[in-house]
Amino acid sequence: MEKTISIAVQKSGRLSEKSLDLIRSCGIDFYADSRVLKARATGFPLSFLFVRDDDIPQYVADGVADIGIVGRNEYDESGISLDVVRDLGFASCRLSIAVPHSFDYRGLQSLEGKRNATSYPNILSRILRENDVKADIVVVSGSVEITVDAGVADAIADLVSTGTTLKMNGLEEAECIYRSSALLIANPDLDDDCRLLLDRLLERIDAVMLARHKKYILFNLPAEKLDEAAAVIGGMKSPTVTPLMDKGWVSVQSAVDESRFWAVFERLKALGAEGILVMNIEKMTE
């Protein structure tokens, strides 16, 4: 029987869609239905286990799944030690201390002797300990933001992405103490077959992730500006240059980091580039 590698993915929540999108972008197809707990991919020997995110580190540790996608917060909170294979970058958020407006917050020391509600007691207590702060931790599994108003806590440590939830509950984000994004985790004792499959999968994931941060540009340029344009584009072996019918002009193609894209675009225009075409890249290798 063909060997497969199994991946635990959040069944339904903030990680689900992006986890499945990433796998689809790797050319791996499957049928995912919110009612099923397992699925088998086509195009790659991969099977899925759809579960709650809190359970993913334990399932991977127990070998119920070989690998998994989970927020760094859940992984660290679990206290389980696994291989962190990649930081996938999506579902990013921060764990922040938030306080009511009446609370005069001046750093973590302000929490000394106070009641702090959180769903991440292990992460919070580690950070408080590292900062020599002795405080009570009130563990709640959800709706942390209502605990201050309910009178069970003086401050909270909760995940934040836009900050809207805190504001809507009359709380101020006082300090970010920890950052999280989705991780690809693996059981450290995978057998050789599984490790080979993981390496094949990683090759695809890396190609997709690299491409996500790049744009492909194509433009026409006066030939005498070529050296300057190459310097502007930078970070690559050489742009592809094709002569045009009009002898004084060339067509240039290259990948550019998305973060530098607008700066590059403006400088190329200033050099006389025309007909600039910009395309998304689906996959690429370095």
Interface with ligand PRT includes 187 (CB under 6 A)? no
Interface with Zn ion includes 58 (CB under 5 A)? no
Gyration radius of the chain over CA positions: 24
Handedness of CA 22, 25, 27, 31 (dihedral sign): positive
Q: Which x/- pattern, by CB under 6 A, does the window 6-45 give for ligand PRT?
A: ----x--xxx------------------------------
Q: Is residue 24 exposed (0-12), middle (13-18) or buried (19+ Cβ within 10 Å)?
A: middle
> Smallest distance from the beta carbon of 54 to Zn ion, in angstroms?
4
Coil vs helix vs strand at 155:
strand
Which amino acid type is present at position 180? S
Residue 53 or 154: the one with the smaller Cβ distance to Zn ion is 53
Number of residues that bind ligand PRT (CB under 6 A): 21
> Smallest distance from the beta carbon of 144 to Zn ion, in angstroms?
13
Which one of Zn ion, ligand PRT, none interacts with residue 42, CB within 5 to 8 A by kind? Answer: none
| Nearest residue to 70 (alpha-carbon basis) of 205, 182, 161 | 182
> Smallest distance from the beta carbon of 95 to ligand PRT, in angstroms?
9
| Cβ–Cβ under 8 Å, residues 108 and 138 | no
- 126-185: which residues touch ligand PRT (CB under 6 A)? 158-165, 180
Listing DSSP states for 93-132 in one string gives: EEEEEEEETT----SGGGGTT-EEEES-HHHHHHHHHHTT
Give the angle 65-43-62 at the CA atoms, nearest 5°. Answer: 5
Coil vs helix vs strand at 90:
coil
User: Which member of 54, 172, 228, 257 binds Zn ion (CB under 5 A)?
Assistant: 54
Residue 70 or 209: the one with the smaller Cβ distance to ligand PRT is 70
Helix residue ranges, H only, 90-244: 121-130, 164-168, 192-212, 226-233
Other Cβ atoms within 10 Å of 105 Cβ, number: 17
Interface with ligand PRT includes 93 (CB under 6 A)? yes
Q: Which of 52-60, 118-126, 166-174, 217-225 is the region at the interface with Zn ion (rule: CB under 5 A)?
A: 52-60
Q: Which of 31-39, 49-57, 124-132, 273-281 is the region at the interface with ligand PRT (rule: CB under 6 A)?
A: 49-57
Which one of ligand PRT, Zn ion, none interacts with residue 10, CB within 5 to 8 A by kind? Answer: ligand PRT
Interface with Zn ion includes 87 (CB under 5 A)? no
| Cα distance between the two ends of the chain | 35
User: Which member of 5, 20, 60, 91 binds ligand PRT (CB under 6 A)?
Assistant: 91
Which residues are near ligand PRT by CB under 6 A?
10, 13-15, 52-54, 71, 73-74, 91, 93, 158-165, 180
Which residues are near Zn ion by CB under 5 A?
53-54
